[in-house]
Amino acid sequence: MNPPSIIFHIDMDSFFSSVEVRENPALRGRPVIVGSDPKGGEGRGVVSTCSYEAREYGIHSAMPISKAYRLCPDAVFLPVNMQLYHQVSKNIMEILKSCVSAFQQVSVDEAYMDVTGIVSDYEKAEKLARKIKNHIKSAEGITCSIGIAPNKIVAKIASDYEKPNGLTVVRPDSLCDFLYPLDVSKIPGVGTKTRMTLENMGIKTIGDIGKCDIQLLIAKFGKSGIRLKQIANGTYSSELLRHRLVKSISKEVTFEEDVADINVVKKTLAMLSEQVHARLLRKGFVFKTVNLKVRFSDFTTYTRSVTLSAYSNDKMSIYRTALRMFSKFEGMGIFRLVGIGVSNLVKMDERQKRLDDFFDAEQFKGMANCSFPAHKE
């Protein structure tokens, strides 16, 4: 059975206003409202966002700016400087992207990361999250909140749980403990209408949904009822949409005619190593496992794999490891097909160097040709 996934949801705190405070530290601690011109209470636009100090007055995103003005006329009102926020967003997303191969940006200030292949357990995940938070703070001067959970939706609920500057870890064995006491409105997508329908069914908490008869939920919400129930029990998982995890890179060749000559097969393996290596570099990954596939003329097929002690991006490591595995098949028959692959991949590119900041020095011990943390075993 696969180990549970470890998903991060990262969301900047009061994003636009935090950037404004960074630009003008004198605003720190004050209610700051970013949005359209309040025009002394006559403005017709809305609040884009506001600092947590302004939220204490009941002000929130999408509220009419005139109302925000009435609630707190002494707040600092600032216009939206989208160009600046986009630049900060881009910088932050670059930092996050450099950590993982599975990354999905979902809005200007939030993203998911699948770190399953990078850390081996939730304790290490928490340490990584702290380092990411510190890194964003020192590079871009703003704070974020991170939720860690076995799936995206719980990670998102978790990132919201201790905002601002929060870090909430929901381990696979505590999903229901975390979810059940929460109000149904904490489920992303559950708005006023759904909340009212649920309330009319006597359902207030996520736990009430979790324990509700599935047929009742289906009768009210159709297919979405099934989804609601899965979310409530922490079993709903959807894949990260962009930058899906690349699991392996491989190439194989079926010979025009079956081959008995070992030297021909070895030459083919050298060529395949070359091709796999080129693709590995193009995609910006490093590998830890080398896979060999051999098919004989009678179609019997074998696969073998060897996991190295450290990550590598070295062509000769691919070839030599494949040859070592291949030597066991010499003399066993006539070859129809050979293939080479690499798996256990993690991202390595120029930006990767920033990762050095995120991981403990000892994790780098025994590294081959790159600076990437050792993969979990």
**Using CB under 6 A, which of the segments 7-15, 223-231, 233-241, 274-282 binds ligand TTP?**
7-15
Bridge partners (DSSP) of residue 252 are 339
Q: Which of 6, 7, 10, 12 binds Mg ion (CB under 5 A)?
A: 12
Bridge partners (DSSP) of residue 287 are 312
Active site residue 42: no
Minimum gap (Å) between residue 197 Cβ and Mg ion? 28
Nearest alpha-carbon partner for 295 in 256, 322, 255: 255
Decide if residue 83 touches ligand TTP (CB under 6 A).
Answer: no
Nearer to Mg ion, 141 or 333 (CB): 141
Minimum gap (Å) between residue 35 Cβ and ligand TTP? 8
Decide if residue 11 touches ligand TTP (CB under 6 A).
Answer: yes
Binding mask 155-174 for ligand TTP (x = CB under 6 A): --------xx----------
Active-site choice (110, 140, 256, 274): 110
Q: Which of 11, 20, 53, 126 binds Mg ion (CB under 5 A)?
A: 11
CB 36 within 8 A of CB 44: yes
Binding to ligand TTP (CB under 6 A): which residues in 187-246?
A: none
Decide if residue 77 touches ligand TTP (CB under 6 A).
Answer: no
Binding partner selected for residue 48 from ligand TTP, Mg ion, none, CB under the kind-specific 5 to 8 Å limit: ligand TTP
Q: Which of 109, 114, 126, 140 binds Mg ion (CB under 5 A)?
A: 109
Beta strands 144-149 and 167-169 are parallel
**Using CB under 6 A, which of the segments 12-20, 222-230, 307-315, 320-328 binds ligand TTP?**
12-20
Decide if residue 126 touches ligand TTP (CB under 6 A).
Answer: no
Specify the residue for token string 């609040």: 47
Decide if residue 140 touches Mg ion (CB under 5 A).
Answer: no
Nearer to ligand TTP, 33 or 169 (CB): 33
Beta strands 346-347 and 285-296 are antiparallel
Residue 46 per-residue DSSP state: B
Q: Which of 8, 15, 77, 311 binds ligand TTP (CB under 6 A)?
A: 15
Element (H, E) at 83: helix 82-97
The string of DSSP letters for 6-26 reads: -EEEEEETTHHHHHHHHH-GG
371/287 Cα distance (integer angstroms): 12
Rounded to 5°, the CA angle 156-184-108 comes to 30
Beta strands 285-296 and 301-312 are antiparallel
**Using CB under 5 A, which of the segments 104-112, 165-173, 272-280, 313-321 binds Mg ion?**
104-112
* Radius of gyration of the chain measured on its C-alpha atoms: 26
Decide if residue 114 touches ligand TTP (CB under 6 A).
Answer: no
> Cα 182 to chain center, whole Å?
24
Nearer to ligand TTP, 163 or 279 (CB): 163
Decide if residue 49 touches ligand TTP (CB under 6 A).
Answer: yes
Residue type, 130: R
Binding partner selected for residue 61 from Mg ion, ligand TTP, none, CB under the kind-specific 5 to 8 Å limit: ligand TTP
Binding partner selected for residue 16 from Mg ion, ligand TTP, none, CB under the kind-specific 5 to 8 Å limit: ligand TTP
Which distant-in-sequence residues (6+ apart) come within 8 Å of 297 by Cβ? 258, 333, 334, 335, 336
Nearest alpha-carbon partner for 48 in 67, 31, 35: 35
**Sign of the dihedral through C-alpha 57, 136, 283, 86:** positive
Q: What are the backbone dihedrals phi and psi of residue 116, each rounded to the nearest 5 degrees, phi first?
A: -55, -40
Decide if residue 108 touches ligand TTP (CB under 6 A).
Answer: yes
Q: In the complex, which residues of this chain contact ligand TTP (CB under 6 A)?
A: 11-16, 48-49, 61-62, 108-110, 163-164
Q: Any idea which residues carry the catalytic annotation?
A: 110
